[in-house]
Amino acid sequence: MKNSYFEFMAEYNRQRITEEMEQIHLEKLALRSRVYRPSPFGRTMLNFANWMISTGDQLRKRYEIPAMPCSNPPTENFAR
């Protein structure tokens, strides 16, 4: 009788541990699928792209929009 009780408890505990492991696995899978975590290369490329965009905006502001309207026409000295 004692052996059957210990076997029953061992099987019960084994099933409980297996269910807990499956639950933990499913929780980790759900967390991983919910949160976007880029790789180091992905982070580097994102930072590089953001830098290029901000630099491009600064260059566009500097060169596309003149600071002051020039009333003197350009001379032809620069054409040589």
What's the pLDDT score for residue 17?
96
Query: pTM (2 decimals)?
Result: 0.40
pLDDT at 1 over 60: no
pLDDT tens digits, 43-75: 898 898 888 888 877 766 666 665 566 666 666
Q: If DSSP codes are grouped into helix, strand and coil, which group holds residue 37?
A: coil
Q: Domain residues of the chain, as ranges?
A: 2-64
Q: Buried b / exposed e across 44-78, counting CB within 10 Å, b at 16+?
A: eeeeeeeeeeeeeeeeeeeeeeeeeeeeeeeeeee
